[in-house]
Amino acid sequence: MLHLRMVCPESSTDRVVEALAATASVCNIVVLGGAARNPEGDVVLCDVAREDASVVLADLRDLGLHHDGSIVVQAIETELSDRMDRAEHVARGAPADAVVWEEVTKRTQESADLSVSFVMFMVLAGLIASVGLFLDSPILIVGAMVVGPEFGPIAGLCVAVMGRRGDVAGRSARALAVGFLLAIAGVVAASLIFRTTGATASEFDAHDHELARVISKPDFFAFFVAFCAGIVGMLSLTTAKSATLVGVFISVTTIPAAANAGIAAAYGEWSTFGGSLAQLASNLSAIVVAGLLTLAVQRSLYMRRRRAHLVEAAVGSAVGGGTDPAPASERPTAPAGETSDR
């Protein structure tokens, strides 16, 4: 379940409450008249099943509430309520599969910016990967993959393309391009220092380093793994299962490919440099394509739910009101003196 807190102009409160009450998966509607001060208006609180959160938020946006007032969405960790259980039961689908599009959009917009911290993580991840390549250490390569923050802008790019947000897509693409360029530049500088100080050999041949050799030769399986990881990553992001994102990070060789390109450039191994850039491009393309396809399917399911919701709302309005989360025969009798929260 999710908790919504809305600030409504007094002229909009009745329409907002009516829209909420017409949805069976909404409960615990509370109106605090005149409680808001900036902006002035009423405060409306309610709880909604996660599966229907986006369709309810779409109703509120249609009323212009995000312009005239405000809407805050909060996750409910624990609830003890038969009414909330019934509201969640009424919503079609499973909470674990529900996509709250407003939440996804907000989260990816924040990760699309080219920030100092993003650049630092990219450069540091590249440096860790470069040491892993010099030492042929899979542990360091995996560590670099976990540190790399590149999936944030990739996800931002996919969501922005689906939402036709050219400004956000441009910011995401810029963050990726600058981040990888600076990561490669950082590895080139570090490799030259290592070479000059004798910390590494004077020559670097990818054939003598198994990991570097594999990374510099992209093939179908590298693309396939990146494609699968892109699907998993987008599902993790949209369904709030962040734990599985770690698996995405260590499945694709974006950061190691950038590090391999940097080492190759420092040592003048241009065939390895080209192969590493091809690996990087292949992985990024596979993740973006997989992400877009995943979002397209999820968006299609959401639009179907939205259309069904609008039809139900129209039918409910025609017969004179909203629906109840459960048939009367299934609702427990309230103790004497208890009032409904609807």
CATH number of the domain encompassing residue 31:
3.30.70.120
Q: Could you tell me the pTM of the whole model? A: 0.82
- With contact defined as beta carbons under 8 Å apart, do 31 and 10 qualify? no
Domain boundary among 63, 98, 133: 98
Predicted local confidence at residue 332, as pLDDT: 39
Residues 53 and 199 in one domain: no
Residues 72 and 164 in one domain: no
Residues 61 and 131 in one domain: no
Residues 175 and 204 in one domain: yes
Apex 37 CA angle, 32 and 38, nearest 5? 125
- Taking only the tens place, the pLDDT of each residue in 165-222 is 888 999 999 999 999 999 999 999 999 999 999 999 888 888 888 899 999 999 999 9
Residues 48 and 12 in one domain: yes
Residues 203 and 283 in one domain: yes
pLDDT more than 70, % of the chain: 89
- Of 154, 156, 136, which is closest to residue 256 (Cα–Cα)? 136
* Domain total in the chain: 2
Mean pLDDT for the stretch of residues 296-323? 77
The span from the CA of 119 to the CA of 20, in Å, is 43
**Does 129 map to a domain?**
yes
Mean pLDDT for the stretch of residues 338-342? 39
Apex 52 CA angle, 6 and 64, nearest 5? 40
Asked if residue 317 has pLDDT above 80, the reply is: no
The span from the CA of 47 to the CA of 72, in Å, is 12
pLDDT confidence tier of residue 239, bands split at 50, 70 and 90: confident
Residues 175 and 88 in one domain: no
Residues 274 and 155 in one domain: yes
Residues 137 and 285 in one domain: yes
**Does 324 map to a domain?**
no
Q: Which residues pair with 72 in a beta bridge?
A: 5
**Does 330 map to a domain?**
no
- Taking only the tens place, the pLDDT of each residue in 11-57 is 999 999 999 998 989 999 999 999 999 889 999 999 999 999 999 99
Residues 246 and 182 in one domain: yes
Mean pLDDT for the stretch of residues 153-166? 91
Residues 108 and 195 in one domain: yes
Domain interval for residue 46: 2-98
Question: Which SS3 state, helix, strand or coil, does residue 35 take?
Answer: strand
